[in-house]
Amino acid sequence: MKQRFPACLAALAFAALAAPIAAQDMSAPKAEATDPAAPAPQVRTRDLTGTFGGQRVAYRATIADTILSNDDGKAEAVIVTTSYVKTPADPSRPVFFIYNGGPGSGSVWLQMGAFGPKRVAIPSDARDDGAPPYPLLDNPDSLLDVADLVFIDPPGTGFSHLTPGTDPKKYYGLRQDGRAVAKVIRLWLNDNGRWNSPKYLGGESYGTTRTAMVADELEGSTYNDVGLNGLILISTILDFAGREPTPGNEMAYIVTLPNMAAAAYYHGKAQAPSVEAIVEEARQFAIGPFAAALLKGQDLPADERATVRRELSRLTGLSETYLDQADLRVTDQRFYKELLRDRGQTIGRLDARYTGTDYDSAGETPDNDPSFYGIDAGYTAAINSWARETLGYRTDREYQSIGREPGMNWDWSLGGQGRSAYLNVAPLIGKAMRQNSGLRVLNAQGWYDFATPFFGAEYSLKRTGIPQDRITWTYYDAGHMMYIRDEDRAKLSADIRAFIRAR
């Protein structure tokens, strides 16, 4: 593909009111316009200041379009990036490229919740975010004191979109998406003179999958290799086969068991000195007696079954009768409904601390996820306020916080094997680390996250071929988006700040 990229930074802060020191609207510089029908790239900048990590920082916020074209020069995709760059620009500073997951999720969550200079304020204690207005606050936990930040909305997320007539198959898929994001990163490095800066990639949820694919595109290119310093994985999902609770796939029950124990502990259904203590008990039980029992199938002796059922009940807070009826195999969806059925409540998938009330208590799965509908309105309002009103981005398009189009068209094949094959991208991270002795990984997980279980991340990243001495593990007392909890946002920021400084 040929690409055209505005010769300017790109930025996207988390929503908030900001008083610009200097503000200017810039139109994109003229590129080699081979497609007269291509949309004109839009660039908007604001010069701002803030205090991050205890340091006062002047920075330029820029929201900009990157246009990706095919070999004939026809525009195929408009990718919106938003960056925060300390002023005056310093090429020796690290640059951190950030995106969210889905596939189909915009970068709003990490932008408005964790790392941008502004954040949306929603309840920190697993309560619903309620109705607007949602306060937009300074974010002292932003990482701008240690790195410049570039948020990327891949095609079909945020304001980014494919142009009319573009085949979705060219952009919506494991490899296709990774290739497009890698091209945007290369162009940003070109236009900002940052090829020799320390470079970090970071994503959340499917964004960790994307990180593996983008790293493979950047470091695996013979002719245009981009060296990386670190991969920052937040709520990791790399091994998808281990997450499908289909008949015969026992691994899905094994990797979610420690999450069930953590949730049971949080809601008072299991007893232990701490969440860390019960999680460790559940880890050892899951990989030991529980895994052995599941693998024995119908050859499992009755006395061994009774022993496993009793310990499973103690750890999960579910009755032995229910566990017997489920044949020791409780899906996460059933668990959300069953754990607090006696209280008439369900628990969250993204964050099991959240509780919801269904239409009735008779079903076996929840009506919805209270940990998602409890936060989404605040984030959507914040990103639109920040991008449109403060940064001045002009568009009639709706911001896609969770866009359906990419997921509906996603190509999950890796190497032509198809989705039915064993889909695991962790080996790509191992390859990148083996070929780059300076590449390190930070893995951040919440105890109460069922969407991307922490034990699944541990399992996928501790297998053969992945150097263990360059992986940092961090854990938090919240769920998928641990930064929603004030204490964990500060901890996550401190952990990543230390990781970047340790280079």
Q: What's the pTM value of the predicted model, to 2 decimals? A: 0.90
pLDDT of residue 319: 98
Architecture of domain 2-241+377-501: 3-Layer(aba) Sandwich (3.40)
List Cβ neighbours of 190 (8 Å cut-off, separation of 6 or more): 5
Nearest to 153 by CA among 231, 97, 99: 99
Measured distance between the N- and C-terminal CA atoms of the chain, rounded to whole angstroms:
34
Q: Which residue has the tokens 């290799």?
A: 225
The CA distances from residue 357 to 200, 332, 353, 465, in Å, are: 41, 17, 14, 45
- Phi, psi (degrees; rounded to nearest 5) at 384: -70, -40
- Phi, psi (degrees; rounded to nearest 5) at 319: -70, 150
pLDDT of residue 12: 29
pLDDT of residue 35: 65
SS3 71: coil
Distance CA 116, CA 93 (A): 17
Distance CA 33, CA 44 (A): 20
pLDDT of residue 15: 31
Nearest to 479 by CA among 252, 333, 262: 262
Positive or negative CA dihedral for 217, 222, 226, 232?
positive
Range list for CATH 3.40.50.1820 in the chain = 2-241+377-501
pLDDT of residue 8: 35
The CA distances from residue 396 to 139, 323, 384, 393, in Å, are: 28, 52, 11, 10
> Which two tokens mark 164?
């009319």
pLDDT of residue 246: 80
Stretches where the chain sits below pLDDT 70 are 1-39, 125-128, 221-224, 373-374, 415-421
Q: Are 270 and 284 in contact (CB under 8 A)?
A: no
pLDDT digits (tens, 9 = 90+) for 153-204: 999 999 999 999 999 999 999 999 999 999 999 999 999 999 999 999 999 9
pLDDT of residue 10: 33
pLDDT of residue 38: 67
> Which two tokens mark 323?
């566990």
Distance CA 255, CA 234 (A): 17
pLDDT of residue 371: 76
Distance CA 322, CA 325 (A): 5
pLDDT of residue 39: 65
